Each structure stands twice: as C-alpha cells, then as structure tokens.
Amino acid sequence: MRTFLLLLVGLSRLLAADAARDARWRQDLDTLTTQLPALHPNLFFQTPRSEFERVAADVRAGSLLPDVRVPFHSRDWFARHDPFLAAALADVPPRGGSFTQSGPVTLMNAAGFRGNSPVAPGSLAAAFGDFSGVTESDAAAVPLAKQINGVQVLVNGTAAPLIAVRAGQINFQIPANVPPGDATVRVQRDGSTIGTGFAQIAAAAPGLFVADALNLASPGAVLDESGRLVTNASPARPGSVIQIYATGQGATDPPVDDGAARGALPLAQSRLVPRVSFAGELAEVLFSGLNPAFPGLWQINVRVPEAPALSGQTPVFAAIGSNASNPVTVEVN
C-alpha cells in the first residue's frame, strides 16, 4: 500500500487530455477506492485509511492525475491508464477468483514473489508448501541437477532443474518446453508425491529481483557501469548504463538447455524485448538476455533516461506485452 501511495504522488502529472478521458479517470478512481479495499486483505496495514482517502481526494480534485499512455492493459480498471499503478496493484486478486495457483503447493516468480501472476518457461520460480522431511540443500554446480537428495519438481511431468530445497520452499527453473496455459506442479521425494499445485504459464512474465527484501522501498538488484550495486550512497547517473537483474524473459535466441548457463558467445538474447520505465520515462534497452553465468537469470542493460524529473529514489518496472513486473526502486542522481 505504501508503494501505491509513493508511486501515485511521486509520478503523477497534470492531466492534459480531453474531457472524455478525464471522466474515465474519475470513474476508474471511484472503482479503485471501493474495489481495492474489498480485494486487498492488508490494504491499510502500513498506511491508514485516512491517508488513502486523502490521496484519492487529491486525485479526484485533479491535482495528481497521471498522464501516462501505455499500449497494454491491466486487469484493474484504474491501472489501465498508468503502468506504475498496474505494477503496484498487481498483487490484488483479479475478479472471479484465483489466477495463478491453487492447492497445497503455491508457485511464484522467484524475483517478484507475487501471487496471482503467471510464470514463464525458462524462468526462476519458487514453490511454497509443506515439504517436511526433505533434506535441506542447495545446488552444487551448474548445470543444475534435476534431483537433489531424492527431491524432484515436475512441471507438466517434466523434471525441473533445482536451485535450493527447504522444508517450506523449493527454488527451481521452469522447464523451457512447458507451453503457455495451465500447468500442473508436483513435488516428489524418493518417487512419492508430497505436494501438488497448479500454475499459469505465459510466454513472458517479468519479475525484478530486489536487493534488500526487508527494505520497504524494494531497491532493485541493479549494478552500475563499474559493477557496483546501485544504492543511495552509490546512485546511477542519468545517461549511464546499468544492469537490471530479473527473470521471466521467456524464449531466447539461441536457446539454452534447462539448468545450464550460456557461458559463451553469442549471448542468449530474449526474443521479446521489454519496455523498462523510470518514473514514466522509457529507458533505452541495450541488451535483454540471459546472464552468461547463471541459469534463468535475466539481465537487462538499459541507459538511465536523462530527464530533469528523475532524481533520488526512482520507481522502475519492466513489461512485456500485457505482463508487468513488480516495481522496484533505483537511486538516480
């Protein structure tokens, strides 16, 4: 909720559009203020209802109306006009019930950790459930093994490369041959099933890694031109090239085997190129593909936009088609 308010206040601009679009905004705002509290179980956990209603009133008065046009559509009516709100509100369950997972095993993008969102072939994922009795262990080497101490994860019957096994969480890579649509996930130990679930597979489903999960600002796992982590003490410069680490890019050229790292030229580039936005400013994408050192790790090299308004803690997200990533922040100065 705090992220929603920061994005709404920090990124909004005066609306310069026709009366019809203004009317749509106000109708969408009415939907937001009534539907979001009903759908979001912890909406006022960090931000009081009074603050939420105050910001909504400012938007309704016309002082904070965003003016960001995007070529994709969120399931939330309000977010259809603003990609930042689309990303910030993406954890709200869509109308009509569950979208991504059900059953005792819950599957999420290993970077975004958002429920009710799809995952992509070749991406890194996390399965949550009760896996009591497994031996906690990590992958010993690359290529990743598809079985660790008797534990396997099967996605539509295909064994997935494993990264880490814990009693409540298993990290793995979605096999590249899993087609878009509904998929069955089955966790086995010594040949016996200990958990099952379902997932929605999309051709691409971006998720951005967070460098500090305990930081409410969700700072992105982003390196600068010198290979240093971008932080408040070491911000990215406008016009500089940074590396954003993510997963969910989908198919690549050339293809890379499950569990393997490319490790050689030519680099494996994503077939679908993301749009990367810094507070409403689209960044130039210089490279989008797999990091050569680790399986399923998506590296997006972008040039930080040189816009006067970009300064300090800047919200960033990536989108491919209609699927937007979780929002992160990048320090720009």
Six-digit token string for 159:
């064994």
**Number of domains within the chain:** 3
Question: 321 with 211, same domain?
Answer: yes
Q: Directed axis angle between helix 2-11 and helix 49-61, to 10°?
A: 20
Question: 324 with 221, same domain?
Answer: yes
CB 245 within 8 A of CB 221: yes
Residue 100 lies in a domain: no
Task: Specify which residues 269 forms β-bridges with.
Answer: 253, 289
Question: 191 with 212, same domain?
Answer: no
- For residue 280, give its domain range: 207-332
Question: 77 with 142, same domain?
Answer: no
Residue 186 lies in a domain: yes
Question: 173 with 214, same domain?
Answer: no
Domain limit, last residue, from 88, 122, 154: 88
Q: Indicate the pTM of the whole model.
A: 0.72
Each residue's pLDDT tens digit in the chain (333 positions)? 343 333 333 333 333 334 454 555 566 667 667 766 765 655 665 556 776 677 677 666 654 444 433 333 333 333 333 444 444 444 433 333 333 444 589 999 999 888 778 999 999 999 999 999 999 999 999 999 999 999 999 999 999 999 999 999 999 999 999 999 999 999 999 999 999 999 999 999 999 999 988 888 889 999 999 999 999 999 999 999 999 999 999 999 999 999 999 888 899 999 999 999 998 899 999 999 999 999 999 999 999 999 988 999 999 999 998 888 988 999 999
For residue 14, the 8-state DSSP code is -
Residue 306 lies in a domain: yes
3-state secondary structure 111-158: CCCCCCCCECCCCEEEEECCCCCCCCEECCCCCCCCCECCEEEEECCE
| CATH code of the domain covering residue 111 | 2.60.40.10
| CATH code of the domain covering residue 314 | 2.60.40
Distance CA 251, CA 270 (A): 6
Q: Is the bond into 266 cis (omega within 30 degrees of 0)? A: yes
CA-nearest of 91, 117, 105, 115 to 172 is 105
